[in-house]
Amino acid sequence: MSGTVQSWAPGGTLHWQDRDEASGCARGMFTLSDFRFECGAVLPSVHIYFETWGTLAPDGCNAVVVCHALTGDAHVASGYGRDGWWSGLVGPGKAIDTRRWFVIASNVLGGCTGSSGPASLAPDGQPYALRFPPVTIRDMVRAQVALVQALGVRTVALVTGGSLGGMQVWEWPLLAPGLVQRAAVIAAHAAFPPLGIGYNEAMRLAIMADADWQGGNYYGTGRAPRAGLAAARAIGMLTYRTDLLFDERFGRRLVTAEVAQAAGAAGWEVQPDPAEWLSGREPLYEVEAYLRHHGEKLNARFDANSYLYLTRAMDVHDIGRGRGGLESALAKLACDVTVIGIDTDYLYAARDLRRTAALARECGVRCRYREIVSKYGHDAFLIEFDQLSRILADVWAAR
Query: Which pLDDT does position 278 carry in this prediction?
Result: 64
pLDDT tens for 358-380 read 999 999 999 999 999 999 999 99
DSSP 91: S
Please give the pLDDT value at position 255: 84
At position 123, the amino acid (one-letter code) is P
Higher pLDDT, 284 or 278: 284
- Alpha carbon distance 320, 330 (integer Å): 8
**Residue 102: closest CA among 90, 85, 89:** 90
Average pLDDT, the chain: 93
Quick one: what percent of the chain has pLDDT higher than 70? 91
- Say what the pLDDT of residue 275 is: 66
Instruction: State which amino acid sits at residue 257.
Output: A
Q: What is the gyration radius of the CA atoms in the chain, in angstroms?
A: 22
pLDDT over 50 at 268, yes or no: no
pLDDT, average across residues 218-233 = 98
Over residues 113-139, the mean pLDDT reads 97
pLDDT score at 267: 47
Contact assessment for residue 185 and residue 396, using Cβ atoms and an 8 Å cutoff? no
pLDDT digits (tens, 9 = 90+) for 42-56: 999 999 999 999 999
Return d(Cα 225, Cα 233) in angstroms, integer.
Answer: 12
Report the C-alpha gap between 131 and 217 in whole angstroms.
10
What is the value of pTM for the model shown?
A: 0.94
* pLDDT for 10 beyond 70: no
- Asked if residue 162 has pLDDT above 60, the reply is yes
Q: Measure the CA–CA gap between 28 and 15, rounded to whole angstroms.
A: 5
Q: Can you state the angle between helices 226-240 and 304-315, rounded to 10 degrees?
A: 40
Q: Is the pLDDT of residue 261 over 70?
A: no
pLDDT > 50? residue 240: yes
Residue 225 identity: P
Model confidence at 259, pLDDT cuts 50, 70, 90, reads: low
Neighbour-count burial of 121, counting CB atoms closer than 10 A to its CB (0-12 exposed, 13-18 middle, 19+ buried): exposed
CB-count burial class (<10 Å; 0-12, 13-18, 19+) for 197: middle
Closest CA to 216 of 91, 306, 285: 306
Helices (H), strands (E): how many in the chain?
A: 12, 10
Whole-angstrom distance, CA of residue 201 vs CA of residue 345: 19
pLDDT at residue number 258: 64
Rounded CA-CA distance 57/205 in Å is: 47
pLDDT of residue 265: 42
CB-CB neighbours of 98 under 10 Å: 23
pLDDT digits (tens, 9 = 90+) for 300-332: 999 999 999 999 999 999 999 999 999 999 999
Cα–Cα distance list, 4 to 22, 45, 54, 77, 273 (Å): 19, 19, 19, 22, 59
> Which positions are catalytic?
163, 345, 378
Report the alpha-carbon distance of residue 262 to residue 267 in Å, rounded.
Answer: 9
Assigned architecture for domain 197-250+285-309: Orthogonal Bundle (1.10)
The arrangement of secondary structure in 5-192+317-397, i.e. its CATH architecture, is: 3-Layer(aba) Sandwich (3.40)
Domain ranges of the chain: 5-192+317-397, 197-250+285-309
**With the C-alpha atoms ordered 127, 132, 137, 139, is the resulting torsion angle positive or negative?**
negative
State the Cα–Cα distance between residues 308 and 301, nearest whole angstrom.
15
pLDDT confidence of 284, banded at 50, 70, 90? confident
Classify burial at 211, counting beta carbons within 10 Å of its beta carbon; exposed 0-12, middle 13-18, buried 19 or more: exposed
* Amino acid at site 132: F
Strand 25-36 versus strand 42-53 pairing type: antiparallel
Over residues 166-180, the mean pLDDT reads 97
What SS3 state is found at 380?
helix
Q: How many CA atoms lie within 13 A of 314 on its CB side?
A: 31
